[in-house]
């Protein structure tokens, strides 16, 4: 299933995408798509619905994040060896874990706002994992059973804040608008192997990132199991799993560093095989 939330910010309704790619309204069936709707039993009830009987939504409404009420937004850094190399950092021996503020979560096509004083805002296409069942100390073998589904994420990052301002990475990762999710949540039964997904990102129509989740250093199963050793994963938690090479920070010209960062009016488009595409226009800071 492809589950969505559509409508104005803060007033989104639940929906799903039918086999013809049309948006159907779920608001008569469930109140929202959040922690209570992500467990196996709840998703099984949705699968039994006669989709062609659900109301079709007219037009092209705004899509919000496909999941509401996310308790934690967890991120994995340097999870592709070639991205670690372009960042001039060693390949990690264990997953690098940091947090993105849940307040940065937004719809897949909402504008990305440059933070006040930003000079190094960057892009990162990433596979998102949405937890469906409470997970504590789960084994790698069983880890995917705790996943509700997957989504596309742009892990927008301010590199000066992240790297040059001291402390943890978090301050460059959780700025407002830095967490576009969606367009939809694809349930795990439709993604039997999350380690075989093509991914890409363009800036102003120019291809910047091309990758595949098979080149992850740590698989989705390993990540879910690993993180569950350090914190309880709750339904609705989102884990973004790292990015392939091609970020602005790593750009080179004639073999020398030539970083490129986002500026006002740039347009970022990105997507992951089977998980849909995003489009964001970059806007200047405003209160």
Domains within the chain, CATH numbers bracketed: 2-53 (no CATH), 73-283 (3.90.850.10)
What phi-psi label fits residue 78: left (phi over 0), alpha (psi between -120 and 50 degrees) or beta? left
% the chain with pLDDT above 90: 93
* Predicted model pTM: 0.97
27 within 8 A of 37, measured Cβ to Cβ: no
Q: Alpha-carbon distance 55 to 120, whole Å?
A: 44
pLDDT at 217: 96
Q: Alpha-carbon distance 24 to 16, whole Å?
A: 5
252 within 8 A of 258, measured Cβ to Cβ: yes
**Residues 73-98, mean pLDDT to the nearest whole number:** 90
pLDDT at 87: 81
pLDDT at 62: 98
Q: For tokens 């706002």, what's the residue? A: 113
Residue 97 has pLDDT above 90, yes or no: yes
* pLDDT tens profile 187-203: 999 999 999 999 999 99
pLDDT bin (cut points 50, 70, 90) of residue 213 is very high
pLDDT at 88: 80
**Residues 235-253, mean pLDDT to the nearest whole number:** 95
* pLDDT tens profile 100-138: 999 999 999 999 999 999 999 999 999 999 999 999 999
Residue 211 is classified by DSSP as E
CA distances from 3 to 132, 148, 200, 218 (A): 13, 11, 22, 27
Neighbour count for residue 11 (Cβ, 10 Å):
9
SS3 of residue 277 by DSSP: strand
Bridge partner list, 241: none
Residue 220 is classified by DSSP as H
């Amino acid at each position: 299933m492809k589950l969505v939330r559509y409508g104005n910010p803060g007033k989104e309704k639940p929906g799903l995408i039918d086999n013809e790619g049309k948006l159907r309204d779920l608001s008569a069936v469930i109140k929202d798509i959040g922690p209570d709707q992500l467990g196996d039993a709840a998703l099984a009830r949705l699968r039994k619905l006669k989709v062609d009987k659900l109301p079709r939504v007219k037009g092209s409404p705004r899509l919000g994040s496909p999941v509401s009420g996310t308790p934690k937004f967890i991120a994995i850094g340097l999870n592709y060896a070639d991205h670690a190399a372009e960042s001039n950092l060693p390949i990690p021996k264990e997953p690098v874990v940091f947090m993105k503020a849940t307040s940065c979560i937004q719809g897949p096509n909402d504008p990305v706002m440059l933070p006040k004083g930003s000079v190094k805002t960057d892009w990162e296409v990433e596979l998102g994992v949405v937890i469906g069942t409470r997970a504590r100390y789960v084994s790698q073998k069983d880890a995917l059973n705790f996943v509700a589904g997957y989504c596309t994420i742009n892990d927008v990052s301010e590199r000066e804040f992240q790297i040059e301002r001291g402390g943890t990475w978090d301050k460059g990762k959780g700025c407002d608008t830095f967490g576009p999710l969606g367009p939809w949540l694809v349930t795990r039964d439709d993604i039997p192997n999350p380690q075989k997904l093509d991914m890409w990102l363009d800036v102003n129509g120019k291809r910047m990132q091309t990758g595949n989740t098979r080149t992850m250093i740590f698989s989705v199963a390993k990540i879910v199991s690993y993180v569950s050793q350090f914190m309880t994963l709750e339904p609705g938690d989102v884990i973004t799993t790292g990015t392939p090479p091609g970020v602005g920070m790593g750009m080179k010209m004639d073999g020398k560093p030539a970083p490129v960062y986002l500026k006002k009016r740039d347009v970022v488009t990105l997507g992951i095989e089977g998980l849909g595409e995003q489009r964001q226009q970059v806007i200047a800071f405003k209160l």
